[in-house]
Amino acid sequence: MQPEVVMIGLGYIGLPTAALIASNGVNVHGVDINPKVVETINRGEIHIVEPELDDAVAKAVNRGFLKADVKAVKANNYLIVVPTPFKGKNEPDISFVEAATKGILPLLKEGDLYIIESTSPVGTTEKMMDLIYSERPELKDKLYIAYCPERVLPGNVMYELVHNDRVIGGVNSESTEKAIAFYSSYVKGELHPTNARTAEMCKLVENSSRDVQIAFANELSLICAKADINVWDLINLANKHPRVNILQPGCGVGGHCIAVDPYFIVADFPMESQIIGKAREINNYKSFWCAEQVKNAKLQFQLDHGRKPKIAIMGLAFKPNIDDLRESPAKYIAQKVLQDANDEEFYIVEPNIEEHKVFKLTQYEDAFAKAEIVVYLVAHDEFKTLPKKSDKIILDFAGVNK
Ligand SMILES: NC(=O)c1ccc[n+]([C@@H]2O[C@H](COP(=O)([O-])OP(=O)(O)OC[C@H]3O[C@@H](n4cnc5c(N)ncnc54)[C@H](O)[C@@H]3O)[C@@H](O)[C@H]2O)c1
């Protein structure tokens, strides 16, 4: 039987979305170029960490509503949820979206709905429309083409997919309406109609706004380190003002979205996006600064004790309680600190993953017990159970003990 939906890209966003749609009794054909991902899903298992996803996928696969494959098949609705990383010097790379679109070109038929959910530079949906109609001119203006950005929070994806508001922008009003009808079958949040370009920019602006606000907190943390003020106390106090809401600093900004999307604006609007570009620089600099602080603590220990310290690097993920290491500032700092290593003993900790191809991982309690310098890079819940007071040197860049 022809599936109703083809979901292209079965990662952190595509797989939960596919499982959710399938859980409503809709036949979903998931496509991923990674055969291991396909095999895992077809066993009813998952390859990523996301609460409630394992259960949703197991049920959807066992009931026969979700099937994964390396190739697409004919359907009525196609969703593109592939990565959009950057290439070269922070230039957006839409080649995955292009490849996914080319993969379904021969399958498209009149009346089909094609939606891009991948975070994309402004104009991508129109570019894909041009690509589709140049290869399939007989379908011109007979498809519904729209862009709908995803704004879920990793760790709470299954809830937010249903309850978040969505911005939906078609290349024309018919496409917007058709896409809204599609999402209304499983989204309970409000569906806001717009055009494709605005929807694309909306996603980029949301993450740039977060990036700029985090940059402000990170800048404060650098100022406070010099001014000998506890930045966490300071922000807490400043936020007692009824109209002030400063975010928390960290060891930088990571992940597939906030650390990436602002560049999609900067690349296309370099003269206009001054604050957005500067925020990226500040957040990147914060990671470099953290690595320097570790280096300084290490040298100071050596001067004080006449030997090299044992150092625990706590956390590699880009934010608390997830296994996602993409664009992670913690991973960058760990790498940088290890590059400068000179016979010190390091314990690298990431409780959310079992193994890593570069880092030898240590269990968090062991690492804490053995280390003389403890560097908190991510505020994972496990770390909050460790002693706050000890004779160890603690560098808390994540606010674990705030
Ligand atoms: N992860 C998030 O929290 C999040 C939030 C909002 C938006 N986004 C955006 O959603 C998009 C997808 O992100 P993700 O985190 O799910 O990525 P991901 O890397 O977890 O998953 C993408 C999947 O697509 C597959 N893929 C790549 N090219 C393909 C192709 N041509 N055909 C079929 N499969 C292909 C990959 O093998 C991978 O499994 C990105 O544009 C991202 O910026 C992600």
For ligand 1, is residue 11 a contact (CB within 6 Å)?
A: yes
Which residues, listed in sequence order, are joined to residue 8 by a DSSP beta bridge? Answer: 31, 80
Identity of residue 11? G
Q: How far is CA 315 from the centre of its chain?
A: 16
Would you say residue 83 lies in a domain? yes
Same domain, 11 and 78: yes
Edge-to-edge order in the sheet of strand 345-349: 345-349, 310-314, 373-376, 393-396
Find out whether 125 and 150 touch, Cβ atoms under 8 Å. no
- Domain around 286: 250-396
Would you say residue 143 lies in a domain? yes
Residue whose CB lies within 8 A of the most ligand 1 atoms, among 7, 12, 326, for a mutation test: 12
User: Does the pTM of the predicted model rise above 0.75?
Assistant: yes
Same domain, 184 and 294: no
Same domain, 62 and 189: yes
Strands 373-376 and 393-396: parallel
Would you say residue 219 lies in a domain? no
Strands 86-87 and 91-92: antiparallel
Backbone angles phi, psi at 342, to 5 degrees: -145, 70
Atom of ligand 1 nearest to the CA of 70: 33
Atom of ligand 1 nearest to the CA of 12: 16
- For ligand 1, atom 24: residue with the closest CA: 9
CA dihedral 201, 203, 204, 207 (to 10 degrees): 150
pLDDT digits (tens, 9 = 90+) for 1-17: 799 999 999 999 999 99
For ligand 1, is residue 259 a contact (CB within 6 Å)?
A: no
- Rounded Cα gap, residues 180 and 172, in angstroms: 13
pLDDT digits (tens, 9 = 90+) for 315-372: 999 999 988 898 899 999 999 999 988 888 999 999 999 999 999 999 999 999 999 9
Would you say residue 62 lies in a domain? yes
Same domain, 157 and 266: no
Same domain, 34 and 137: yes
Same domain, 273 and 379: yes
Atom of ligand 1 nearest to the CA of 153: 3
For ligand 1, is residue 60 a contact (CB within 6 Å)?
A: no
Helix (H, G, I), strand (E, B) or coil at 242: coil
For ligand 1, is residue 49 a contact (CB within 6 Å)?
A: no
Same domain, 58 and 148: yes
Neighbours of 111 (CB within 10 A): 11
Q: Mind telling me the catalytic residues?
A: 203, 257
Q: Give residue 49's pLDDT.
A: 84
Share of the chain above pLDDT 70, in %: 100
For ligand 1, is residue 288 a contact (CB within 6 Å)?
A: no
For ligand 1, is residue 112 a contact (CB within 6 Å)?
A: no
Q: What CATH number is associated with residue 355? A: 3.40.50.720
For ligand 1, is residue 44 a contact (CB within 6 Å)?
A: no
DSSP state letters, 153-216: PTTSHHHHHHHS-EEEEESSHHHHHHHHHHHTTT--S-EEEEEHHHHHHHHHHHHHHHHHHHHH
Would you say residue 216 lies in a domain? no
* Total domain count, the chain: 2
Atom of ligand 1 nearest to the CA of 13: 16
For ligand 1, is residue 32 a contact (CB within 6 Å)?
A: yes
Q: Which of 101, 155, 127 is nearest to 381 (CA)?
A: 155
Q: Give residue 85's pLDDT.
A: 86
Would you say residue 221 lies in a domain? no
Q: How far is the CA of 15 from the centre of ligand 1 (A)?
A: 9
Q: What value does the mean pLDDT of the chain take?
A: 96
pLDDT digits (tens, 9 = 90+) for 42-61: 999 999 889 999 999 999 99
In the listed set 150, 171, 204, which residue is the last one of a domain according to the structure? Answer: 204
pLDDT at 127 over 90: yes
Q: How far is the CA of 20 from the centre of ligand 1 (A)?
A: 16
Would you say residue 240 lies in a domain? no
- For ligand 1, atom 43: residue with the closest CA: 119
HSE (CB half, 13 Å, CA atoms) of 187? 23
